[in-house]
Structures are given as C-alpha cells and as structure tokens.
Structure 1
C-alpha cells in the first residue's frame, strides 16, 4: 500500500468534508471535498494538513492507524490541553473543533488552525535556520515558552481535575518500568539498575509543585519562524499535571551539541553549530522561572532512562516485524541506542 492510500484511509476526505460543513459551518470549506495530506507522525498521533478549494488550511490530529494501546492516544486529552492553554502566553495552535464520534473518519480527532513554521526534528533540519542569531534564539525562546507553560496555574485554566494521587515521578517510574518489561529487549540489566537508583533518588527529592508538564518538549515538537521564535507547541499526547523539571530534563537530554561524548536522546537540530549550549538554556530557565535546578542531573538521568524505555517499545516493533520494510540493521541499532541511554542515565546519576 502506498503512503498516499494510507493517508486516504486514515482521514477520508468526503466524510470529513461533510462533518466540517455540518458541525463547523463557520469554516469556509467551499465546493468539493477537502484535500488531506499527512505532515507528521509515525507511531505517535498523526497530523494532517487539511486544505479546501479556496486554499484555507487547518491541521487535524488523530491516533495512529495501528498498534494503539487501550489507554493511549486519547485525543480528547490533547484537545483539553490546547483548549485550556489558548489565550495564555503559551503559543498553541488555536483549537477549532473536536469530534468524539469515531464513525466519521474511523477515530476521534480534533481540528486546529494551521500554524506556519519550521519544525526542526532532526540534525539535518538544524541547517534550515540561517546561521547566526536565529539559531541561538530558537533554544532560548523554547526555554522561555517552557517557563511560561510551567507558570500556568492548572486550576485557573480548568485542568485541576487531572491531578492524580501520589507523585508524578513515582507514577512515571512504575509505568515505564512495567512497559519496558513487556518489551522484547533481551538484556534489561542496565535499565533495571538505573530504575532502582532513580527510585531511591526520587524518594529523597524535595517536593515539587504540580504544573502542566508537556512530556515531550523539544524543538521537534515546536514550530519556529525564520527568526527562531516559537510560533506554536504541538503534540500534547504525553501532557499531564506533574513535575515541571521533568520537562527541562527531557529538553536538556535531547539537546546534543557538536563534540558531545554522550549521544543525546534524539538526534536533533542543536547538533549543528550556532545553537545555544545547554548551560545557557538552564540559566535562562532559572532566570525566567525562578526554580531551583540543583537536582537537574537527576531529571536528565530520568529522561535518558525514560528514552531507553521508549526505545525498547520501538525495538520490539522492529523485532516483531510490524514496522514494514526496514533496513536489516535497524533493530540492532535501536537496541544499541536504548542501551546507550540506559548507561548514560547511570552516568548522569553519578554527576
């Protein structure tokens, strides 16, 4: 099956167009069915560009078409977060409408305004910002947005009911440890050792205030303009009320720099010359948020360990042969990458 045919099945234009005309009549859909083009997504929630005959554009988010866990990919949850944050200093795509009826396109989905911007998701994309101040601005402005997110009072924006009993880190450590042991990874010794030490260290941390944690905050989930300023924050599927420093640790663990001896969790744009260094990002966050980052090494270790757990799930899909046509060494490369992050988590705990 071609990529184009997969897109049509995932978001069939005719029923979507009918829904738009019926439920969202304020949108100028025009004559004929809308055009549907997938613009991001792999094994996470999928994003599509929706274009009408007059050139109007929106973005649609829906779950993946396969391998969906029963408790994952809750589109109403994403919708709640962007709806709650609209009107705050956090730049989110303006929400348009939510569809709870899976019969329309085969799954729940929501529609938001389309935000023009560059999503810098890998090392090569780092060159798309012109060398100079815009590259440095991208990192610093991302941190400013993160601090703005963590300044939002969940109760004030109607998200207070999402609080859960117990500590955020405790829940995360239990959840990911359980999932990694459901994977096909043959050797989990480094993951387990890091987990035991993280549990021990987490118990000794000072209490954290409960804020909105994005869960995957990095340049690959932001749209930036040519000047490097953040225009929108996307991909809220892992968002929760939790420890804000977990977001900062995740950003720093993914923020690779030229010459690093330890690989970042994700091969991102900051590996290119001209982007801000990690110390600059941390200092900017402290300045903007006023938070104590004395224990940041723990949160970086936690981010690396969590990345290893996520990588175990990806490796399992390779090992199970459900990833489609792949290069022969992809599974082994994924396995080595997750072991590298587990070992890096242990090293970060020693800092």
Structure 2
C-alpha cells in the first residue's frame, strides 16, 4: 500500500545508512491520530519499531512544521525530567522523501486522546495520569532553557503578542468560518496582554500528546512542532481549556479523556501546578481565553490542509471541525467579555 509522504526505496536506504542498528528491509505504516505533522511506524527486519516524523505533503503555512525545531527540542530534553522519545537521526536532505524528517524511538504506551483510550485504566490509574500530566508540565516549565542548550532557539520577550500576530495572520490565510468574530477576540486579547514570564513552552501540552504506562505514569511527551520560548502559563491555559469535566456543557479545545470518572478536576490540576512551580496563576482565565481563540486558528489550518488533500486520511470530519471552530470562537468572545476586555 502506497503511503503519502514516504518514498520507500530512498527512505529505506537512508535509514539503513543513518540509524544505528536498523536492519532492512523495513515496513512503513501511518500512525493514526496525526492532525499536523505526519508520524509513521517504521519496523525493521528484526521487528524493532521506530517512529519517523515529517511535515504534511503540501499546504504548509509559513513558520509551521519545522522539523529541525522539533528535533532540537527533542534532543535537548532527552535525559531531563521531561520524558521524550530517544532522538535517533535527522535528515535535512529533502530529496529522500520530499521533506526533512527525523527518526526517534517508538514509545509503546497509551496515548489518552479520548475517553475510549482511558477505558482500560483503573480509576486510580486515571487519577494518576491526570496528576502526572500536570506534574510533567511543571517539570518542563522549571527547566532552564540555557542549561539544555535552548536559550537561543527563540526570542524571550513578547510571546503573547507574537502568538496573537502569528495566528491572526495564519487564520486569515487558512479561511476560518467567522473571521469578524475572531478578529474582535484578537483585538481584545491584544489590548489586555498581562505581564509575562519566560520558559520552555510546548504549545500543545495535553494527554492526547502524551504516552502513558498502565499505572498512569507519563512515558513520553510527543509533538514538539509548536515548541518555543515564551510564557509558560500559555501551556497551562491550553491544558485547562482542553480539560473537560463530567457534566460540562463547554467543549474542550482538543479531545481528551478527562470527562471520564477518576480524573482530577481542573482546579486540582491548577493547584498542583502552582504548588510545583510557584507561579502566580491568578490571571489564568486570560490564557484560557487566548487558547480558545488560538484553537480556532489552528483547526482552521488543519481543516484547510485536509480539504486540500495534503494530510493522511484518518477519518477527519471537516464539517464537524468547522462547527467546533465557531463554538470555540464564541466561547473566547464570552471569556474576553467576562474579563472586561471589551
């Protein structure tokens, strides 16, 4: 079966020459669930499994899908308190398979992308998974970027302003269903930017981008394509905006398992983060509003790439996602009004 984004012959030859211990022939399969960069399972002749990451095959927005950035963060954080897959090899030669890519160790755990994924977990393991998630985020935010060689990866000031400008530009390029509403939220957020601190920001930190052991411990953090230096509370805002509790009538910015019984609630997660990091979380509601707006911008870009046929086909429902965009945009507007920004 032909896989979009993989040239089997050249890619296998490159892997043979650059990945220690890999023995051809290899087989490739698309790992389901990817909404942006493409991830493939690579199995060699000895049955050893590795993972290959590359950008979409077209329709790439400016500054997005930078494989060298993912590789740099993965390499810097390997061996720290933040568990990441082992970085194995990086390919900058776009002639191999049409884009730069990298290869990492395959982590055999459970990605808690939705409620169904949590079904095998006991109530105790679910609670541990929830607390381990925020503890892992706190560990990331207490790492000194300079100490792991990431001090020069990005600017340290004006993170929120840069994010607001970047996603505003990209949502207009992508074509969201209600630009007037998104523009109004953007303007309110710009006017109310709080004082910021600096640290390593993942950009999409949630259980659906983590791999868990059966007891709920975090085995690895994936998807570093949006990682940068910036205000760590933006990560916490995204986690909270995606953390749905039982009985909520407000959807999360991303699918997750936390509405299932056993997971800790948002308040407990935030309290644990504040305890571990010592950060002031009194203005967290601004970051949650920002992340609801940002989620609209991101999903508009993903939807545009699927409609253009440049992403792997894993059952993505473009019409449903457009409806979710509108709902998140309205929630973001409601939030900035509650904050008194309009």
Cα 1:38/1:264, change in 2 over 3 Å: same
Deviation of the 1:324 alpha carbon: 9.4
Task: Tell me the residue number matched to 2:153.
Answer: 162
Task: Tell me the residue number matched to 1:199.
Answer: 190
Structure 2 CA distance for aligned equivalents of residues 319 and 58 of structure 1: 29
Structure 2 CA distance for aligned equivalents of residues 40 and 326 of structure 1: 6
Q: For structure 1, which runs of at least 5 residues remain unmatched after alignment? A: none
Deviation of the 1:86 alpha carbon: 1.0
Deviation of the 1:10 alpha carbon: 2.3
Task: Tell me the residue number matched to 1:5.
Answer: 2
Structure 2 CA distance for aligned equivalents of residues 211 and 200 of structure 1: 23
Within a 5 Å distance, the mapping from 1:1-351 to structure 2 comes to: 4-6=1-3, 9-24=4-19, 26-27=20-21, 29-30=22-23, 32-40=24-32, 42-130=34-122, 132-164=123-155, 166-202=157-193, 205-206=194-195, 208-316=196-304, 330-349=317-336, 350=338
Deviations 1:216-236 (A, max 9, x none): 001110000101110000000
Q: May I ask how many residue pairs the two structures share in their alignment?
A: 338
Cα 1:257/1:12, change in 2 over 3 Å: same
Bigger shift: residues 261-270 or 11-20: 11-20
Cα 1:12/1:344, change in 2 over 3 Å: same
Deviations 1:198-233 (A, max 9, x none): 11110xx22x22111000001110000101110000
SS of residue matched to 1:182: helix
Deviations 1:138-161 (A, max 9, x none): 111011110110111111111111
Q: For structure 2, which runs of at least 5 residues remain unmatched after alignment? A: none
Structure 2 CA distance for aligned equivalents of residues 116 and 343 of structure 1: 38
Structure 2 CA distance for aligned equivalents of residues 5 and 191 of structure 1: 39
Structure 2 CA distance for aligned equivalents of residues 323 and 73 of structure 1: 13
Cα 1:50/1:189, change in 2 over 3 Å: same
Structure 1 CA distance for aligned equivalents of residues 334 and 241 of structure 2: 13
Deviation of the 1:5 alpha carbon: 1.5
SS of residue matched to 2:197: coil
Deviations 1:53-104 (A, max 9, x none): 1111211111122222343211111000010011111101111111111122
Deviation of the 1:332 alpha carbon: 4.3
Cα 1:97/1:319, change in 2 over 3 Å: closer
Structure 2 CA distance for aligned equivalents of residues 114 and 335 of structure 1: 33
Q: Is the 8 A contact 1:152 1:211 kept in 2?
A: yes
Deviation of the 1:195 alpha carbon: 1.2
Deviation of the 1:16 alpha carbon: 2.7
Q: Is the 8 A contact 2:57 2:311 kept in 1?
A: no
Structure 1 CA distance for aligned equivalents of residues 63 and 283 of structure 2: 31
Q: Is the 8 A contact 1:137 1:227 kept in 2?
A: yes
- Specify which structure has the bigger relative contact order, considering alpha-carbon pairs within 8 angstroms and separated by 6 or more residues: 2
RMSD: 2.3
TM-score (norm 1): 0.89
Structure 2 CA distance for aligned equivalents of residues 330 and 119 of structure 1: 20
Structure 1 CA distance for aligned equivalents of residues 38 and 303 of structure 2: 20
Q: Is the 8 A contact 1:15 1:104 kept in 2?
A: yes
Deviations 1:173-196 (A, max 9, x none): 111112222333353232122112
Q: Is the 8 A contact 1:252 1:278 kept in 2?
A: yes
Structure 1 CA distance for aligned equivalents of residues 228 and 107 of structure 2: 23
Structure 1 CA distance for aligned equivalents of residues 332 and 179 of structure 2: 13
